[in-house]
Each structure stands twice: as C-alpha cells, then as structure tokens.
Amino acid sequence: MTTIRTVDVTLADTTGMKKLLTVVNLVKNPRGVNSTAVGGSSGTGGASALTYPTTGGPLTDAPSFIRRTINTVPTAGDITVTVGSQTITALDAGHIGKTLNFAVYVRASKACATPGIPYASIGWFNVSEGFISGATGGSTTLTANTWMRLGVFTATVPALTTRLQFQATFPVNGVSGLAIGDTFDVTAFLVNETVTGFDNSYFDGASVGASWQGTAHASRSAKVVGIG
C-alpha cells in the first residue's frame, strides 16, 4: 500500500522584490582627492589657489572637496572649477548617442545671484582634443556658505566624443562683495547613464554598496541599486 503525504508549501510574496541594477559614475576623480585633471580659471585679472580639504563636504559620501581661494580679485569673467581629461573622464564608443545625467555640489563664501547665477556645464572633446560642443544646466542662486546641488541635467553624447569636461561656474558679476580670501567649493561630480528608478543621488567607490573599478579616486565607481 502506498502512502501519499501532503506537504504544505508557503510561497514567498515576490511583489516587494526589487530588480538589482548596476549604476556607474563615469567621473574617475569626483571629489578632487586625486588632484590630477582638476583645473579652471580665476576670472579676468584674477588669481587664486586650489586646495583639497578632506572634511566639511555636503554629504557623508562626499566629505572632501575642491576649494578655489581668491588671491587677486577679478574684474569680470568667471571663476570656475573643472574636472576632465582623457584619463579622468574618458568615454568609449558605447556611450555615443546615449543620454547622460550630470550633477555637482557647489558652495561659495559669498552669496551668488543675478545677473550672474552659478551654473554647471559640460564640453565634449574628440581624440585630438578638439572641442565638439557643449551644454549647460543646473543653474541656481547660492546663499553664502551653503552647499547646493547644480543639476540633475541631461545631455546626449555627440559623435566622435572621447572625453568630457565638467565645470562648475561662478560668474564674477553675481558674487556679492567679492574680496581676497573668498572661497568657491566644488565636489561630488556625478555623471551616469539613465537608469529608470534610480534617483541620481551621488556616490563614488567609497560609498556604501559601491566600489572603485580600479584605483581609488582614479577610476570609475559602480553601485548596485534596487529598482522597483
């Protein structure tokens, strides 16, 4: 005689499960910890110095930042901080035609408002370092000594691009009472492909759940995120 046993089986409720996807920050030096390929300008007739404080940044994931300190007050133009080179922001052919998201955190020791509102911009360059085109976005007024995020804005990678340059710009005519010793801080550069459901929050290889794809602060960062 054969005995047939019945077994109660409880099926897991999968409605709350999330799809795991990998997001990549394409900027290899997103906080300026490695000063390679950090540059910019001091404005017309101005002079300044770059330093790299390790604390005081806007986020737990971005404690360090790039600081430009005014030594000679400019009379016009823009005060800028840039990252970008063939080794820091190189793009491969697979990115051509894709839409990328851009964002960066900025702070100034003086309020910044009209007519010169701070903004972020990108430039596309080819293998011969020829400028192809550019785009701007994420402009906002700044309260003195307050971190703000410029972006997120999007731009599509044009044909022949091999690298991008990402810049935060503070127009001199928008800085209230610009003086020697004033500071302009920039950090947490994020460039990533659009991933539906990802909120474009900043990360790099030192963030929880993320890792550097090579040398720390000199390679892209990857983070696994739950979507859905």
- The β-bridge partners of 23 are 223
Domains, the chain, in order of start with CATH, read 37-194 (2.60.120.260)
4: DSSP letter: P
Task: Quote the pLDDT of residue 3.
Answer: 38
**Dist. CA 11–CA 112, nearest whole Å:** 58
Query: Residue 162, SS3?
Result: coil
Decide if pLDDT at 13 tops 90: no
Beta strands 131-137 and 183-193 are unpaired
Residues with Cβ < 8 Å from 55, sequence gap 6 or more? 63, 64
pTM value is 0.89
Q: What is the pLDDT of residues 106-146, one digit of tens each?
A: 999 999 999 999 999 999 999 999 999 999 999 999 999 99
